[in-house]
Amino acid sequence: MVKKRVIPVLLLKDGRMVKGRQFKDYRDTGDPKSAVRIYNAQDADELVFLDIQASLQSRGALVEIVRNAATESFMPLTVGGGVTSTDDVRELLRAGADKVVITTAAVKQPGLIRAAAEMFGAQCVVAGIDYRGSGADARVWLHCGTEETSHHPVALAKSFAEQGAGEIFLNSIDRDGCMEGYDLEMAAQVADAVPVPVIVCGGAGHFMHLAEALQQTAVSAVACASLFHFGDNNPIRARSYLRNLKIPLRVLK
Amino acid sequence: MIGIVDYGMGNLGSVRNAFEHLGHAARIFDDPQEAAGFERILLPGVGSFAQAMRNLDERGWSPVLREVAASGKPMLGICLGMQLLFDRGEEHGDTAGLGLVPGKVIRMQPTPPNRLPHVGWNTLDHARRHPLHAGVKDHVDFYFVHSYHCVPDDEADVLARVDHGGRVVASVARANVAGMQFHPEKSQAVGLKLLENFAGWDGGDTVGSALPW
């Protein structure tokens, strides 16, 4: 059977790693190159890189970071931030990304997900959903949480999957960086609504939070940034904690 | 020298990086006429079966790859590259493949709660011993990301399978032509072990008795 994944997220801005709270108050958390090296040594299941700046300059730095990561590490890389065309997708895949996350443009440019899926295969197209609020009142926000839409995350996730997205990256802005646990209700609803794998992100502050999401919802993967950036936690410890709870994880050798 | 076929589909750099990391010379090449100069050929690929075959046909690769297979030179297809080795694929319309391994490539239909695409780490069960899998134990996980899977006509071609709401062929070998549905270049240490095996593979079936299994 396919295993549950624990995925460190590297938020990037102008080539540096950053981390904020609720999509603001970003602070520098170091050099992404050394982070990649460490996560590779710790056998992380996959890495997600998200560029939050989406400027031309920051994009150049992102491509360089991905290229470097693909030279030094032999693990799956998922990359996004400011992807607005199939050319952007191609550029990131060529740099070494295995999957590309499309977030704002997935809403603003109907047809982009389908076009990317037809060109590169559904399996490498990840639709990103950032939302605020919870339950029925939740709404999807674009441009890193600065522009509200009328979409509900569940409806949008279903639409993205129908358009050909191979995976959904679901991120709660309210819980981002708060380390108080995932929005399990929304994670469960989205995972039950779509046939594709769902990665939940936003809120993990303890290994228990990872376990909750993997045991109580049908998500395929848990993503976290603060959990690994601040404190003495790493994928190795996360794995042994989750294994003790009988959650199916990858066997390394 | 390992030749990595560039036919305009997907991420070729990762495979080359992996061989370089292992200390094996590998070069990406886009001229089919150069194929004869390489000791072994690797066919990577990300994308759809129909588009990939169109590219192989238009760029003159198909007859060259069939010659490589007939010559006995070791050849390995990864992910979509494995699927292209088969007779036919149904992704984006029924399309003829390279026809080097008898069988077809069809959309997976996993039973719930298994999802599609099949993304993530899954456990290999070996069907038979083979030098390409030497040193890799049973029940170790490899990284998969695909929606279509290979169904060989001849069970004897299967090297390993995984379970994803039904049995899925993970790797095949028919004489000197082999395929891996998972990504060895993305499966960290165990994946690199398989690429190391390919770099030393003579295209035969013989497993040395000294090899760990």
Buried b (16+ CB within 10 A) or exposed e, B15-54: bbbbbeeeebebeebeebeebeebebbbbbbbbbbebbbb
**pLDDT score for A65:** 95
- Give pLDDT, residue B128: 92
Residue type, A24: K
- B79 is a catalytic site residue: yes
In this complex, do B188 and A122 lie within 8 Å of one another by their Cβ atoms? no
Tens of pLDDT along chain B (213 residues) come to 999 999 987 778 899 999 999 999 999 999 999 999 999 999 998 888 998 999 999 999 999 999 999 999 999 999 999 999 999 999 888 999 999 999 999 999 999 899 999 999 999 999 999 999 999 988 899 999 999 999 999 999 999 999 999 999 999 999 999 999 999 999 999 999 999 999 999 999 887 644 544
Q: Which of A76, A12, A81, A2 is nearest to A46 (CA)?
A: A76
Give the Cβ contact number of residue A142 at 10 Å.
17
Judge whether B161 is closer than 8 Å to chain A, CB to CB: no
Residue A208 in tokens = 């228990």
Chain B positions in Cβ-Cβ contact with residue A221 (cut-off 8 Å):
120
Active site residue B58: no
| pLDDT given at position B208 | 61
pLDDT for position A214: 98
Residue A93 to residue B10, Cβ atoms within 8 A: yes
Q: Check CB contact under 8 Å for B119 and A197.
A: yes
Q: CA A128 to CA A118: how far, in whole Å?
A: 18
Q: What tokens were used for B108?
A: 């997976």
Where do the domains of chain B lie?
Answer: 2-199
ipTM of the shown complex: 0.95
Mutate which: B188, B192, B194, vs A, most A CBs within 10 A: B188
What residues pair up with A139 in beta bridges, in sequence order?
A: A132
Q: Is-contact B145 B119, C-beta < 8 A?
A: yes
Nearest CB partner across the interface for A120, out of B14, B46, B117: B46
Nearest to B13 among A2, A75, A96 (CB): A96
Contacts (Cβ under 8 Å, ≥6 apart) of B55 = B7, B8, B9, B61
Comparing alpha-carbon positions, the chain A residue that sits nearest to B164 is A1
Residue A106's H or E segment, with its range, is: helix A104-108
What is the least distance, in Å, from the CA of B146 to any CA of chain A?
A: 6
CATH class given for the domain over B2-199:
alpha beta
| Alpha-carbon gap: A26 to the closest alpha carbon of chain B (Å) | 30
Q: Which DSSP letter does residue A136 get?
A: G
B183 a catalytic residue: yes
Question: Which of B80, B121, B139, B183 should be substituted to probe chain A, the one whose Cβ sees the most A Cβ atoms within 10 Å?
Answer: B121
Q: Which of A67, A94, A195 sits opposite B115 (nearest CB)?
A: A195
Which segments within chain A are labelled E, that is strand?
A: 5-13, 16-21, 24-30, 47-51, 77-80, 99-102, 125-132, 139-142, 147-148, 167-172, 198-201, 221-224
Question: Cβ distance A216 to A237 under 8 Å?
Answer: no
* Interchain contact, A93 vs B188, CB within 8 Å: no
Q: Two tokens at B51?
A: 């588009």
Please count the CA atoms within 13 angstroms of the CA of A119 that sit on its side-chain side: 18
- CATH 3.20.20.70 assigned to domain A5-244? The reply is yes
Q: Quick one: pLDDT at residue B213?
A: 45
Does B113 sit behind a cis peptide bond, omega within 30 degrees of 0 on the bond before it?
yes
Q: Which entry of B79, B146, B150, B164 is annotated as an active-site residue?
A: B79
pLDDT at A190: 98
Provide, for chain A, the percentages of residues in helix, strand and coil under a 3-state DSSP scheme, each rounded to the nearest 5.
40, 25, 35
Q: How distant, in Å, are the alpha carbons of A48, B53, B62, B85, B177 from that of B99?
A: 37, 11, 10, 6, 11
CA distance B154 to A173: 51
pLDDT of residue A232: 83
**B140 contact residues in A (CB cutoff 8 A):** 251-253
Give the residues of chain A that fall short of pLDDT 70: none
Nearest to A74 among B117, B123, B192 (CB): B192
Would you say A107 and A156 are in contact if contact means Cβ atoms under 8 Å apart?
Answer: yes
| Residue B122 contacts A where some CB pair is shorter than 8 Å | yes
The beta-carbon neighbor of A120 closest among B47, B118, B188 is: B47
Q: Give the whole-angstrom CA distance, residue B50 versus residue B24.
A: 32
Cβ distance of A122 and B117 shorter than 8 Å: yes
Q: Which of B30, B115, B190 would best serve as a mutation to test chain A binding (most A beta carbons within 10 A)? A: B115
Provide the token pair at B8.
């305009």
A–B CB contacts, 8 A cutoff, strictly below: 126
B135 touches chain A (CB under 8 A): no
